[in-house]
Structure 1
């Protein structure tokens, strides 16, 4: 039995932050019923879709194991289907424009009327109330607003690879839902959860932000020291880059031993962290000269074994070949819409029993509509009528 077996999630989300959250719930065993627009589906189904595939990598990555039901939320009959689903749901997750669910009669107070134990989570850019609540938000706009794109210099701001704010916002929502389900076990009451991407970005950057709050320095919260420590920096080797993370004296000593540099270890300019940082240019030049003839892959193994944190800078293709990922079950086999075999990313932790995992493939658009409606008590004639009306 997985942790969320028996928990039913009504998923009214689209794009990335919301589906990322409900995907994590599914990996723990929840039944996730994903409501999508008839004929169109989630905005990400077709976002940067690879020719010949039935859905985009962005959609596939966060929708494995869910059930897809097509419902027209602009139709009163369609909204009634959602209310019926909410009657037996444990969790509702939505990331519509703030206020939109309430306007459709699908807000927390509306659905609480049919299910008082409902945990209702709303995800948005800036929260459900206040002056900024109706502003649109995407991963990169939140990164720009929160300070993530500023590197402390005069270069053009750049967006880091990946959708870190979207995904982390989804993870904050996931954690909030788990806390609300635990609270419900103790109180018998549901709860309204309001998750904002801007809030989540500050949680993600907490260490840098607290530094700014303490010192008042106008530094980049995501990178307060930009490669200006010679032993915490990237260096080019003969076959790629190695990133050193030699923060402490024992790391420095291990580094010098591995690369065969006793002269650096005995040099008074590099005797301790303070002196090494005071002679950054000289030490970086010396390390660059030493490291250029090494193999990054071998350096990684040798430095890690010696106790000095260091990593070969990999591409995503190479990163996926790290053996421990497969050993720990992080790569989960699945199927894409259309039946292609694919691999998805698992939940990110290991348990001693009943661990996380997918319950099924990534669903084709509307693949589960008829089965779910039947479970709600709709007969074949009812379903045909709803389809004819454009409600599902």
Structure 2
């Protein structure tokens, strides 16, 4: 089997909950040896965030902790801090998502560690930045503060959060991006670096064209429901038996849409000739389209759109998503045998590298499952920092990996 992109990279993972573990799972999926440091007897808080539980382990924890090893360290004790220092000395990357100030109290802050270990990439994930206020950043708080909730929901309804924790997930993704960039720079320059990612920064950066609309007009965009603010017709439409999405990106697609619905004359009307004109007459146009669509079954409309080359798609529930042949064929449902829970499933990763999807080398770990193994490894390499950073970490990993199989499409 071809080596994974991050084979040989060790990550000391001092994160919990969602943003940090999501970041380190992405690195683990790419082949890094991620050592998850957890509080003795309790572990990551997300182990207890349920229901639902699989036996006594929360589905929340299972969703973002595959391909990692777990060790228990009490960072409040001298012995625990000593083991943590050894682990960091033998690692290429450290990731933490404590409140600002906590890392300094533990002696695991970026300034201290990068001075001692110049090859280390130190990543901090927080709600409001390493130099921001020392308050917890919870996803819904940050969605509200970033403006996302004013952009989500019906035009006449209250603000809504997104249906997935986009603040946590985006911060984890951007942190992984920053770490990879820092590792690449290390290859060229021989020095590590510091990555500082905030949930607020992540969501504000993702405002993208909505932010530019505000800068261009001086008017803050508001909720558009399931319509598009600058393209028409583009959004959710009712049919005889449900709803679906139709997204018309140009004038030719609009003409094809009208022809496919049996109303070619609408596609030829001058007041709908351009996107700007369709936006000016959007509600009237939606009414004319709805007159036809509400008399047709969703499956019929989707067939017509496919033939016409008009972008359209169903609106699925998650059971329908994971029953879809394309989703299964892309390896987006992973199944793994857990040492205490039996078979568990989780969403797959987004990459195919050299044609291969994400593989599960290790299931989400039992609390402290790898403590003895990892501490023995770092003890063997305690002599110098240089030995740590040049050692083939990955070759020591995964005595139990052979029993783990990913779900083949």
What is the TM-score of this pair, normalised by structure 1?
0.89
Query: Shift of the alpha carbon at 1:316?
Result: 2.0
**Cα-to-partner distance string for 1:264-292 (whole Å, 9 max, x where unaligned):** 23444434333333333332222112111
Quote the residue 2:292 is aligned against: 290
Quote the residue 1:37 is aligned against: 39
Quote the residue 2:399 is aligned against: none
Query: Shift of the alpha carbon at 1:313?
Result: 1.4
Quote the residue 2:113 is aligned against: 111
1:3-14 superposed matches below 5 A: 3-14=5-16
Counterpart pick for 1:366 among 360, 365, 368 = 368
**Cα-to-partner distance string for 1:33-81 (whole Å, 9 max, x where unaligned):** 0011111111111112325523212211110111011111111111111
Please, which moves more after superposition, 320-329 or 155-164? 320-329
SS at match of 1:121: strand
* Maintained 8 Å contact 1:55/1:337: no
Query: Shift of the alpha carbon at 1:159?
Result: 1.1
**Cα-to-partner distance string for 1:178-236 (whole Å, 9 max, x where unaligned):** 00000110111111111111111112112211221122112139979767965112111
Aligned mates of 1:210, 1:303 — CA distance in 2? 32
Q: 1:85 to 1:298 in 2, by over 3 A?
A: farther
SS at match of 1:128: coil
Quote the residue 1:133 is aligned against: 133
Quote the residue 1:357 is aligned against: 359
Whether 1:183 and 2:185 are equivalent positions in the alignment is yes
Aligned mates of 2:336, 2:350 — CA distance in 1? 17
Quote the residue 2:74 is aligned against: 72
* Maintained 8 Å contact 2:28/2:67: yes
SS at match of 2:148: coil
1:89-238 superposed matches below 5 A: 89-129=91-131, 132-151=132-151, 153=155, 155-220=157-222, 231-238=233-240
Aligned mates of 1:222, 1:170 — CA distance in 2? 28
Please, which moves more after superposition, 224-233 or 184-193? 224-233
* Maintained 8 Å contact 2:86/2:379: no
* Maintained 8 Å contact 1:237/1:296: yes
Q: 1:222 to 1:265 in 2, by over 3 A?
A: closer
Q: 1:297 to 1:357 in 2, by over 3 A?
A: farther
Aligned mates of 1:40, 1:302 — CA distance in 2? 55
Size of the aligned set, in residue pairs, is 376
Q: Which runs of 5+ in 2 are unaligned?
A: 381-409
Quote the residue 1:83 is aligned against: 85
Aligned mates of 2:163, 2:140 — CA distance in 1? 10
* Maintained 8 Å contact 2:12/2:91: yes
Q: 1:144 to 1:102 in 2, by over 3 A?
A: same
Q: Which runs of 5+ in 1 are unaligned?
A: 379-392
Whether 1:19 and 2:3 are equivalent positions in the alignment is no
CA-atom RMSD in angstroms? 2.3
What is the TM-score of this pair, normalised by structure 2?
0.86
* Maintained 8 Å contact 2:261/2:304: no
Q: 1:51 to 1:343 in 2, by over 3 A?
A: closer
* Maintained 8 Å contact 2:231/2:248: no
SS at match of 1:365: coil
* Maintained 8 Å contact 1:147/1:220: no
* Maintained 8 Å contact 2:227/2:236: no
SS at match of 1:168: helix
Aligned mates of 2:6, 2:371 — CA distance in 1? 23
